[in-house]
Structure formats: structure tokens, C-alpha cells
Amino acid sequence: MYDKNDPRSALAPAAERKAPPVTTYFGAEYAHFHRDPPQLADAAGRTWIARGAAFVVAYSDAAPGGSFLREDQPDEYVVLLPDAEKGAEIETADGTERVPGMRLAILPPGNSRVTMPDGGPLVRLFTPASQDLAGLASNAASFAEGNPNVPPFQPWPDPPGGFRLRHYPLDVPQTPERFGRIYRCTTFMVNYLYPRIGPRDRKAVSPHHHDDFEQGSLALSGRFTHHLRWPWTTDMTIWREDEHVECLTPSLAVIPPPAIHTSTGEDAGVNQLVDIFAPPRFDFSAKPGWVLNADDYPMPESGPR
């Protein structure tokens, strides 16, 4: 259910559900990076780690010169540099490249290093194949048995040009026919939403649900309330109460399927949210022009299961 001015209102109806019927509900997860102790604190800075069934988020307050090494990384991972004044030096097997702030970078499997010369915020997104980070997540115990309503992770096709460092601007002008600023790779789809200034209009919210994939909502500035409702089923024993959870920034909400959800910015200033999906979404990918780097990363030949 979308407001008529929301570009998502033009999405094609979802295909007939092929996932098994829901017999149990999995709760939402919230990580309050702004108030909770970090999972890692060393010369590189402080790093908070939280996860969903299919993704791991590492949010770092990097010290000047802070260096973040990945050895034998099994798959592609994503780096977000949300501060326009705080870039990074990214080293891969092909050499070292300076990446300015306000960029999204996709790093190849293997060895890599992200160094923050001036410090600042650094966001890295991994799949649970990065077992060391998944195990450090503040909510790792919640996913010890996975989420029965999320299918096993399946990566998307390799890029035709091969794995390498790629990075893209986040300061892309807004257009009325495109929803947010969307990039994808083999492992992730990231929608760096356009910020809202001031509280969200209560008459133009977007309650909706996903049949079988979860959503990470990473709040980078401002203040948000995440509203969730689980559909009633014939089995009352699995019903859950509605949730209206306030999250300051930075923070992460992990929204499980098939919870109906929407988020409202609450701050009088800038409210910045980033949506995270692993693997990429078919419906967004099918909309011409929505995925800004679609030429670099093809879609699978078959649609969603």
C-alpha cells in the first residue's frame, strides 16, 4: 500500500507466492549503535556489528588513519562512505584507489583493505559467509537457527567485466519516476533513500510487506519510528503485537517477512535512511532506470522463486 505519489505505487503486482505458508513468525531486530557498546574497539576505531538472516552490517566510527582489513573474503561486500568530506583509500589485488566521500563502493572477494585517512563514519555490508563478523554481531544468537521465512541466500550473477573495485556516486539528483538511489551487486541491493527534512507526513506513509525477504533499515541521521504489524493467521498462537519502535541514529532495524511495515522520520532536521536487501530485489531491478549500475551487474535469467 503506497501513497499515489510514491514511485513504488507503479510496481507490478507480486507474483503468486511460491514460498511455503507461514507457520511461525520471526520477530524484528533492532541495534542501537548510538547507545550500545561497540563489538570492536581498537586503533582503527569503534565498530558496531548487527545482522539479519541474510546480511551483516558493520558500522564504524573510524579513527584518523583507521584501517579495516579483510583477508580471504569469500564474496563481494559493500562500503558506504556517507560523509562527503571523509573519503577512503581502498586497496585490492589491483592496487590502491582513493574513493571520495558520499560514495558506494563494491569490493571484490579476496584480500582488501579500507583505510580512512581522516576518520569518520564507515559502513560495510557483508553476507553471513563472512563468518567472523556474523559471529560477532550483537544479535548473533537470534539467528543461530536462521529465519524459517527467509530462503537460503543465493548470489546473483557475476559481473561480465569480472570482480574488481567499483564505486558510484550517492549525490545523484532526484527524479519523480525513480525510487531512491539504488545500486546492486552479486550480494546486495542498497537503496540510499533521499533524506526527508522534518517529520514524515502521517497522511502519506507506505505500509507494505515482503513475502520472503527481509529488509535492513539503517538510520544514519535524524530519528525514526519503525511501525510493524504481523498479519493474522488462522493460528492465533503465532500472532504478535504491533510494534512502534523509536530508533535514534545510527541504528539498524531488521524487518522480517511477512511483517507489514513502514517508517516515519521524526526529527525536525534531516532524517536519512538506507534500505538494505540481500540478495538484490527482482521487483526493483525490473523497473527501467531504477538500478543505477544495472549495466555492471546482470539479473538472473529466472525470476524469484
The pLDDT value given to residue 12: 61
For the domain spanning 21-285, the CATH number is 2.60.120.10
Comparing CA positions, the residue from 236, 268, 241, 263 lying closest to residue 252 is 263
The pLDDT value given to residue 6: 80
Walk along the chain (305 residues) and give the pLDDT tens digit of each residue: 667 678 887 776 654 445 678 999 999 999 999 999 999 999 999 999 999 999 999 999 999 999 999 999 999 999 999 999 999 999 999 999 999 999 999 999 999 999 999 999 999 999 999 999 999 999 999 999 999 999 999 999 999 999 999 999 999 999 999 999 999 999 999 999 999 999 999 999 999 999 999 999 999 999 999 999 999 999 999 999 999 999 999 999 999 999 999 999 999 999 999 999 999 999 999 999 999 999 999 999 876 65
Distance, in Å, from the CA atom of 230 to the CA atom of 261, rounded to the nearest integer, reads 9
The CA-atom distances, in angstroms, between 251 and each of 23, 31, 225 are: 30, 6, 11
Distance, in Å, from the CA atom of 298 to the CA atom of 110, rounded to the nearest integer, reads 21
Answer yes or no: pTM beyond 0.85: yes
Distance, in Å, from the CA atom of 11 to the CA atom of 177, rounded to the nearest integer, reads 11
The pLDDT value given to residue 16: 43
Q: For the chain, first and last CA: distance in Å? A: 23
* Residues linked to residue 50 through DSSP beta bridges, in sequence order: 57
Domain regions of the chain by residue span = 21-285
The pLDDT value given to residue 15: 46
